[in-house]
Amino acid sequence: MKLSRLTNETAVAKAAAGWIAQTVTERPDANIVLPAGKTPVLMIKDLVRSTMRGELNLSRARFYQLDEYAGVEPADPRSFHSFIRRHLLERLDPDVAANARLLCGDETDLPRHIEAHARRLAAEGGAHLAILGLGLNGHVGFNEPGSERTARARVVELHASTLETAASDFDPAELPSRGITMGLAEILAAQRIIVLVTGGGKAQVLRDLFERPASSDLPASWLRDHPQCFVLADRAACSLLKSLAAAE
């Protein structure tokens, strides 16, 4: 795992978009695992700008949704499915949307749905690039504390800190208690992994990621042995690291 310490979240987003552009340039039909969230939206805006300027062709790329709230339908603007459609797919060539592999949180058989999603990724060659965020509790996707590195795509109970973060988007009675996610097994099978970390609120978990022993208590720590895992973090998120050298 290597750390790139960048100035701010805009720089992180631009660097992440650069990794996607490089991957698609190397392989136009690349499989790219994509999350939702504040930093990803800036990354996606950069991708859209590059595509509209004719600098990047995403028409053959396959974007795989990383995770989703259970029970939240795709049309709900709070769903990750809706996020990817609004910010990326609806702004680009229809071929990009046609190739997208999205999740539906309102499926009646969620275990079967997420398992089929992971099988499809494997059948299409696995992830060439996985973009991830880092949760305050160390989760990646919805691989919450307690997740082993062998955990596969599944339905999960959301951790209290995840629910606390989600609470700003949902009325208490509607707050999802479960999610569906690609597992660490599918993530670790990716050829390259990029982890986005921004803001001072993530400083403690970023320090833990580099300084604590790898364990299921901090699921992101399982990424440390991946030969092509890169953490893109802004200055605020890096504020508690003892030194850049210690984190590389």
Q: What percent of the chain has pLDDT over 70?
A: 98
The pTM of the full predicted model, rounded to 2 decimals, is 0.94
Active site residues: 67, 137, 139, 144
Instruction: List pLDDT tens digits, range 142-183.
Output: 999 999 999 999 999 999 999 999 999 999 999 999 999 999
Please give the pLDDT value at position 191. 98
Spatial distance between the Cα atoms of 237 and 204, rounded to a whole number of angstroms: 8
Please give the pLDDT value at position 248. 41
Q: Confidence class of residue 243 from pLDDT cuts 50, 70 and 90?
A: low
Spatial distance between the Cα atoms of 66 and 92, rounded to a whole number of angstroms: 20
Q: Which domains, ranges and CATH numbers included, belong to the chain?
A: 2-247 (3.40.50.1360)
pLDDT higher than threshold 70 for residue 247? no
Instruction: List pLDDT tens digits, range 10-54.
Output: 999 999 999 999 999 999 999 999 999 888 999 999 999 999 999
